[in-house]
Amino acid sequence: MTSNSSRIIGAVEIGTGKVAVLVGEISRGRSLNIIGVGVAPSRGVMKGEVVDYKAACEATHHALEMAEKRAGARIEEVWLAQTGGHLDGFYNEASVNVKSADNTVTALDIASVCDLAKEKELPAGRSRIHEIRRPFRLDGRAVPDAEHLSGQRLEVGYWIVHGHEGKVSDNIHVVGGYHLEVRELVLSSLANGSLLTTAEERQHGVLVINLGKGISDYVLYRDGHVLVTGTLPVGGDHLTNDLSIGLRVTTAQAEMLKLRHGRATVQTRDKSEKVWLNGDASFGDKQFSKNAIEAVAAARTQELLAVIKQKLGSAFAPEHCGAGVILTGGTSKLPGIDEVTANVFGVNARRGESPSWVKDELKDPMFSTVLGIFQFGLRGAHEHALPPRRKTGFLSNLTKIFASS
C-alpha cells in the first residue's frame, strides 16, 4: 500500500546486454525506498538502440512485470535511461548586458541569457535530451547564482545533449507498449556519474566511464559541474567479437572465455599455458593459449580507453581530474582494467562503488545506471532547475486514454 503523497516510479535501462528495472517508492519527492527489481536478458537492442521493437518490448515488459510483481505495486511512471551512439553534445554560450540602471542582475537578465544560450538550432530530426547549465559568469567571475549580484555583463554556457528523434522515440515507445509514460529521460552517463561520485570528487574533477556491452558512455566533471558527456558505440561486445575472430570460436564461446580468463592486462607470460574452453572434458572441448586471450582483451580494452581519451580531447587534462577515473558497467569487471585506465589517462582509476545506502544485492555494476537514475532525479529535485512537469491527474490521464484509443 502506498500513501497519497508517494509515487511509484520505475527506473528503466534498456541496455544491449540486459534490461534492468528498479521500482522505487518516492515519498514527498525526497525519500526513496527501492521495493522491486526486475532484470531480463535484452533482445532487439544493438549498441543501445532498438532494432527489433517486438523483441525489445518482450524483454523490457518481462523485466517490468517482474519488478512490479516483486514490488507488489503498479508502476505509475517511468524514468528511462538513454544511451546510444546517436547521442551527441555541443557547448553553446551567450552573454547579455545587465539591464537595470544600478547594474543589479535580475531574474529577467538570467532568463534572457539562458534562453539565448539554449537558442542554437539543432539539425533536423534531432531532439534535445538535456540542457546542462554551467555556472554563470558575471564580468568574468564564475558565480553559481547571479541574481541580485552587481555586474555589467552576464554570461552562461550550456552543454546540450541531443539525439536522433526516431531512436529516442523507439526507446520511449518500448515503455509505452507497456502502457506506461516516460516522465523523465536521463542520460546513462549522468545517472552513473550522479551515483558513483561525490560532490567533492566532482569539484576536484572526475571522469566516470560506463563500459557497457554495446556502448560505452562517459561524463567528465570539473569544478563541480558537468563539462562533457559522450558515448562511444564500442563496449564489451567488441572484446568478445575480437576473441571470437582471433580464437575462431563462436560468440557465445568467446564470451565465456572472456568472462573466465579475460584480463585488461597481460599477466600470463608463458605462451604455452593453456585453458580449456568448457573445462568439463566433454566432446569437442578445446584448449586455448591463456596469453592469447589476455593479449586480445588487453589490446581491445586499451584501444577502447584510448578512443575515449581521444574523444575527450582537450577537455580532459590530468591536472584537472584530481579524483581520477571511475569505471562502471559490466566490462569494468575485467581484471586489471583500473591499471590500464590509469596508464591511459595518467590519473588514478578505480571501479565505482555504490553509496552505502544501496543494498548489497544492488551493488553490482549492472544496477548502477538504474540506481543513478533515481539519484539524479532526486537530487535534481533539490539542486537543479526542475523541468516543467507534464500535466498529471485524473483529467489528464483521461485525456491520454482517449487520445491513445
Partner 1 sequence: MSSTESNSMSAAGRSWRDIRQEVTPLAMSRKGRSRRRLEWFKVTALFVLLGAGGWGIYTLVHSWETDRAALATAVHSEPVRDIALITDGVLTKKWAAGILALPKTASLMSLDLEALRNKLLENGQVRVAVLTRHFPDTLVLSLQERTPVARLQASDGNGPARQLFVSREGVVYDGINYGSSLVASLPWLAGIRLVKAPAHGFEPITGMEDVSALLSMAQLEAPQLYRTWQIVSLDRLEARDEILVKARDIAEIVFTRKRDFRKQIAELDYVVDRVHVLPDPALLSVNLAIEGQVPVRMRNTPEELAKLPDSTFSPQSPQQRKSKRDL
What is the contact surface with partner 1 in residues (CB under 8 A)? 53, 57-58, 61, 64-65, 82, 115-116, 118-122, 126-135, 159, 162-163, 165, 168-169, 172-173, 176-182, 184-185, 190, 194, 199, 202, 221, 224-226, 379-380, 383-385, 387-388, 390, 397-398, 400-401, 403-405
Minimum CB separation of residue 132 from partner 1 in Å reads 5
3-state secondary structure of 347: coil
Query: Which alpha helices (H) appear in 161-289, and where do they start and end?
Result: 165-176, 188-196, 199-204, 236-247, 251-261
Q: Which of 225, 197, 198 is nearest to 210 (CA)?
A: 197
Minimum CB separation of residue 310 from partner 1 in Å reads 24
Count how many residues are written for the chain: 405
Residue 114 vs 277, nearer CB to partner 1: 114
Minimum CB separation of residue 334 from partner 1 in Å reads 29
Residue 251 vs 397, nearer CB to partner 1: 397
Residue 135 vs 246, nearer CB to partner 1: 135
d(CA 210, CA 309): 14
d(CA 254, CA 277): 9
Minimum CB separation of residue 55 from partner 1 in Å reads 11
Residue 229 vs 253, nearer CB to partner 1: 229
Residues 89, 230: contact at Cβ < 8 Å?
Answer: yes
- Could you identify the residue written with the cell 522491486? 36
DSSP letter assigned to residue 11 = E
Distance of CA 8 to the CA centre of its chain: 22
Minimum CB separation of residue 287 from partner 1 in Å reads 45
Residue 259 vs 386, nearer CB to partner 1: 386
Set of cell numbers at residue 150: 552587481
d(CA 135, CA 129): 20
Minimum CB separation of residue 168 from partner 1 in Å reads 5
Residue 202 vs 213, nearer CB to partner 1: 202
